[in-house]
Structure 1
């Protein structure tokens, strides 16, 4: 007998769309935009809300990439006063990177949109970078507060005393939290010296996902109990690690939306491999979405849970 569908089936993604400026040319990026494009590629119903320039060349690149990934662009607001966001990427040996995020971009001025009811009832994804300005911060939090489905926070901590307050306010809106191991250590130091269980209890988190790069991942549940873990996946042809965490998030969210009745362990394992696969590409996603078609097939081919 088919299992009853109980999980939400839509994803509302909020945040920045921008251009990553590598030494050898521009690449379309922004963590929420990376997640949204991957979700569209994987077959999840996704609505992306961001803001780009009205006429600049970078905006044209964002729109072109969205269309190539079959990501609807109705949620992309246009700004005739502020340009599409830019990030200078400085690479280091071994695939590492540092960013310089340019100020006063169009995505700092996201307005609260009118949404169809279905987009307020599924998953909601948002991060911290798009909250750097008062306008977008207000809009993203207003949408999160009135959202009726589970909220997935992809926290990206950056230097600055204001980050502690921003993190706390974001955590209070979240049901699921994704961080890397350094970010987890910082959150524990700030809010819960007794560890993961105390952090989850303080902010009423249902799940905490910790990505550890080459060391794999861990998923914690109620009471800080370890639910799932996986080892890192070797990428023998490492290009860079830009977008690896976004790929993990997108595959997990797609699995939560589409793989009803599948064991979560299978989705997490596939997300781990997908993130490693992205590390073999230039930038967060390939210019040709067809390169990633096997990952969609793999997601939809995950075996159902026994019994």
Structure 2
């Protein structure tokens, strides 16, 4: 049985130097999860415009269902300017008041969340408080066994301490990177080193897992008891757009399939290294990586 996984939040165009690519962290997450064998959905909005129609068509061509993406007649499809700087790192310019800033929910959307085995949400799509309320309401409908992944994803000034705190209280899995941890530590008054901070986070918010990426230096996973550190894999970096989202998707697939932290970590670093070697957030997943989960029997639920 394939796990049912949802990414909720922004769906948009990443305007890279090489041209536009579909993107948005929860969209990238869902697309990577689908490529790895999940039945994945994106819950978001696009505008009633050519840009939105093309985005939906591209998602369908990638094998994604677009049933969770509604049309907003009043706001344009989202877009982001992306500059690639040293080390393939992206610098984003995120345009405001896009269709995905105006999330809505209906009975069909609520039913999706009641069925979900995992759902991933971030802080960016909560920059409009009304959309934040929709996200919290829908994520709150998931079963107690479901993974609720808060991908911190701090962008520009589009977050508040209140948003971070409320999201952590809703989540049972936290994903963050080495640029975000100091900001989170400041907001939450965390002290000590990385391990002390993670132990405090896991205890305070009753987290089942913390997934921490640190660029070329790999990652750390912590489940409240066990630590797993990975040094990372050498790769020729094109850009790092979407690499963290692919890491998150692989971690979620591994956890849902009952893998050990070591196995989860190895797979997630391999997938993220591949994405770093490609242009854009959601390059086609090679068969050697897709095959990791295709023979697995979904363990949870």
Q: Runs of 5+ in structure 2 lacking a partner?
A: 192-196
Decide whether the 8 Å contact of 1:40 with 1:69 is kept in 2.
no
Please say if 1:107 is aligned against 2:97. Answer: no
Please say if 1:143 is aligned against 2:138. Answer: yes
Q: Give the structure 1 partner of residue 45 of structure 2.
A: 51
Cα distance per residue 1:28-58 (max 9 Å; x no partner): 110111111111121101222100012x232
Q: For 2:212 and 2:231, how far apart are their aligned partners in 1?
A: 12
Q: For 1:97 and 1:175, how far apart are their aligned partners in 2?
A: 28
Cα distance per residue 1:82-131 (max 9 Å; x no partner): 11101001121321221000001000011013247464242121111111
Q: Give the structure 2 partner of residue 70 of structure 1.
A: 63
Shift of 1:133: 0.6
Q: For 1:27 and 1:227, how far apart are their aligned partners in 2?
A: 35
Q: Which moved more, 1:152-161 or 1:33-42?
A: 152-161
Q: For 1:150 and 1:280, how far apart are their aligned partners in 2?
A: 29
Q: Runs of 5+ in structure 1 lacking a partner?
A: none
Shift of 1:22: 1.7
User: Any idea what SS the aligned residue of 2:170 has?
Assistant: coil
TM-score by length of 1: 0.87
Shift of 1:226: 4.5
Q: For 2:260 and 2:296, how far apart are their aligned partners in 1?
A: 9
Decide whether the 8 Å contact of 1:180 with 1:211 is kept in 2.
yes
How many residue pairs match? The answer is 290
Q: For 2:111 and 2:98, how far apart are their aligned partners in 1?
A: 29
List structure 1 segments (4+ residues) > 6 angstroms apart after TM superposition.
none
Root-mean-square deviation (CA, aligned residues, Å) is: 2.4
Decide whether the 8 Å contact of 1:188 with 1:196 is kept in 2.
no
Shift of 1:150: 2.5
Please say if 1:182 is aligned against 2:176. Answer: no
Shift of 1:208: 1.0
Q: Give the structure 2 partner of residue 96 of structure 1.
A: 89
Shift of 1:295: 1.2
Q: For 2:155 and 2:67, how far apart are their aligned partners in 1?
A: 30
TM-score by length of 2: 0.89
